[in-house]
Structure 1
Amino acid sequence: MLNWAAAKIFQTAVVLVIVSIASFSLLKLAPGDPVLLMLGSEFSQDSYDQLKTALGLDRPVVAQYLHWLGNFLVGDWGTSYVARTDIFTFIVREALPVTLTLTACSIFVAVAVGVPLGVLSAVRKDTIWDALAAALALTATAFPSFFLGILLIWFLAVKFGLFPVMGFVAPWQDFWGGMYHMILPALTLSTYFVGMIVRVTRATLIEVLAQPYIAAARARGEPRWRVIWVHAMRNIAMPLVTLVGLQLGNILQGAVLTETVFSLPGLGQALTGAVLGREYGVVQAGVMLTAVLFLIVNLLVDLSYPFLDPRLKPR
């Protein structure tokens, strides 16, 4: 078991190295000179050469990469020349908590809504309830999130005044206020994943309910709710965990648009501003942090399989 876990961790580390090389190389090919952007329109050649040396841009590319990677690992990510603040503080301590809050709320809404609808669709197969759940899942997966966010703002915030239009309140400072401000963004970001979870839950549960051990549980006279929510749902946990892990990248991608629509000061909006301002240091830090989050979650998903299904434990 330990050897298997160590192999998974090693694979994750290798992928992270590949992602770091790719992000560093692609941003090096991006147009624009970061030294010119930092100096502005008026500067001397000496100032240009001094700043280029200070940033390490006069070194060979491999040396620049190794220097950047070493600084990244110790949390020395440089300084944003637009915001005039430390990039690590800006990305990790200020922007990342906002994105993690939005992502957690969205996953909670998607699971809380999608799983019961999927169960209802499977249990009431080929009925009006099944058709309604299928229509909802299809609509949710086909509806653009940014357009849904604008509609929610217009109807629920502007027209009826039920929710704030935009802004962010930290839940760790004011929990209920933070959740109140997060309702519309979480609904916007989770809609697509509600449809995905409904479809996966329905398909898996229909297959599980046809298994012999479900028939045996019914023959023992166990209540219907226990047959479904205890015996059958155990075998749905793995597909759901896999779905959430694999879709985390799409959730982070959707967070960029959602944070922009609702003016949330999260990682997505920070990266959007960095790309427009050609702050390559911020972009590199954001890309690497996003990759780290995605790979860690997928590593945890892989490590959870033996606990969700004992048959998968390495021998």
Structure 2
Amino acid sequence: MLGPQASVSEIHKLREQLGLNKPIGEQFLLYCSQLMHFNLGTSYTYNEPVIKLIMQRFPNTVILTLFSMFLALIFGIGSGIIAAVKKNSWVDYLVTILSLVGVSMPVFWLGVMLVLVFSVNLQLFPATGMASLSSGVIDFLSHIILPAITLATIPTANFSRITRTSMLDVLGENYIRTAKAKGLSNFKIILKHALKNAMVPILTTIGMEFSSMLGGAVLTETIFSWPGMGKLIVDAIDKRDFVVVQGTVLFLALMFVLINLCVDLLYKVVNPRIQYVKKE
């Protein structure tokens, strides 16, 4: 922090300011008390509060995550429903194979290949950076599409597999056969009856994937130079800014817990039969 030319007195003074001259137990308790006031420390590199850096970068990560989640839900749940309805057909086999490929696809390899093909060779999309909506919708979409596809690939495959399995369980139930006997259209049976009752495991996967995408965008943001939390963590590690690394990891861990708590509470909305009561 002080540079290689710092004097001994300057080093002692800074150690005292940071509380590094106190016993390790006292340092830990002091750090915990600061956390209660949302004080994550001050960055060595930027010389700014860590919480301020997080608030500057976190919205960018949320934008990328929401866009990626939208793509994953549309293509993942859609393909899973089609595979379940067309069970044991070539469509089912194709979706299953693509899901396995998607789950196995390394994010860093996929991101580099997308840049090579669509940015370097075809020159259709920018390779790096982020554009705001104020610069135009087309410019915004052209910057976000490649990192969003990269980040959405594994969640799309997971949604497809979970949706197919859950839908197959539901489509064999008696009330589905009753709905067919009443003459309801396949579209109404699938969306209103089957999908609604198959949503609990899908909702669990959505919560887990959304949490993972918030914290797992490190590689994607690094490849595409997306100014989010992942890029902030990588830059902090590169510069040995341990305070920023510690603060961002704690913040993402808190987000992970809160998102999964919200998912647990949403179970009752999706399936009213679920009761949050203690057994006698």
1:76 Cα offset (Å): 2.8
- Post-superposition Cα deviations, 1:45-69, rounded to whole Å, max 9, x if no partner, equal 2111111110011122232222222
Moved more, 54-63 or 196-205: 54-63
Matched, 1:203 2:172: no
Greater Cα offset, 256-265 or 229-238: 229-238
> Matched residues in 1 for 2:141 and 2:33: separation?
38
Shift of 1:176: 4.6
Distance 2:91 2:145 in 1: 26
Instruction: Check if 1:69 corresponds to 2:32.
Output: yes
Kindly state the Cα deviation for residue 174 of structure 1 after the two structures are TM-superposed: 4.8
Assess if the C-alpha contact under 8 Å between 2:212 and 2:256 holds in 1: no
Q: Deviations over 1:181-227 (max 9, x none)?
A: 11110100111111111111111101100000000111111111000
Of stretches 235-244 and 254-263 in structure 1, the one that deviates more from structure 2 is: 235-244
Corresponding residue of 2:216 = 254
- One-letter amino acid matched to 2:21: D
Q: Percent identical across equivalent pairs?
A: 35
Take 1:72 and 1:270, find their aligned partners in 2: how far apart are those partners?
20
Runs of 4+ in 1 over 6 A off after TM superposition: none
Gap change, CA 1:85 and 1:58, over 3 Å in 2: same
Residue 9 of structure 2: aligned partner: 46
Distance 2:134 2:83 in 1: 37
Secondary structure, counterpart of 1:167 in structure 2: coil
Contact 2:80 2:161 in 1 (8 A): yes
Q: For residues 221 and 172 of structure 1, what CA distance do their matches in structure 2 show?
A: 50
Larger RCO of the pair (alpha carbons < 8 Å, separation 6+): 1
Q: Which amino acid is 2:190 matched to? A: I
Work out whether 1:140 is the aligned partner of 2:102: yes
Q: CA deviation at 1:156?
A: 1.3
Q: Is residue 47 of structure 2 the alignment partner of residue 81 of structure 1?
A: no
- Residue 296 of structure 1 is aligned with which of 249, 255, 258? 258
Separation of aligned partners in 2, 1:167 and 1:229? 39
Please give the alpha-carbon distance, in whole angstroms, between the structure 1 residues aligned to 2:38 and 2:154: 35
Aligned residue pairs, count? 277
Q: Identify the range of structure 1 (64-73 vs 42-51) with the bigger mean alpha-carbon deviation.
A: 64-73
**From 71, 74, 86, the counterpart of 1:124:** 86
Q: Distance in 1 between matches of 2:216 and 2:108?
A: 8
State the TM-score, normalized to the length of structure 1. 0.84
Query: Structure 1 residue aligned with 2:142, among 180, 183, 193?
Result: 180
| 1:128 positional shift | 0.9
Distance in 1, Cα, partners of 2:139 & 2:48 = 28
Match of 2:128 in 1: 166
Per the TM alignment, residue 175 of structure 1 is displaced from its structure 2 partner at its CA by 4.8
AA matched with 1:221: G
In the other structure, the counterpart of 1:59 is 22
User: Contact conserved, 1:259 with 1:266, CA < 8 A, in 2?
Assistant: yes
For residues 92-107 of structure 1, the aligned pairs below 5 Å read 92=55, 94-107=56-69
Q: In the TM superposition, what is the alpha-carbon distance from 1:83 to its structure 2 partner? A: 2.2
**Equivalent residues in 2 for 1:102-117, closer than 5 Å:** 102-117=64-79
Distance 2:200 2:116 in 1: 38
Choose 290-299 or 63-72, whichever is displaced more. Answer: 63-72
Q: Is the CA contact (8 Å cut-off) linking 1:145 and 1:254 kept in structure 2?
A: no
1:82 deviates by 1.4
Counterpart-to-counterpart distance in 2, 1:100 and 1:70: 28
- 1:312 counterpart SS class: coil
Task: Report what 1:308 is aligned to.
Answer: 270
Counterpart of 1:291 in 2: which secondary structure?
Answer: helix
Structure 1 residues 97 and 172: alpha-carbon distance in aligned structure 2, compared to 1, 3 A threshold: farther
Query: How far is the alpha carbon of 1:259 from its aligned partner?
Result: 0.4
**Mapped partners of 1:297, 1:58: distance in 2:** 38
Amino acid at match of 1:90: L
Partners of 2:132 and 2:142 in 1: CA distance = 11
Q: Secondary structure at the match of 1:310?
A: coil
Q: Distance in 1 between matches of 2:17 and 2:119?
A: 49
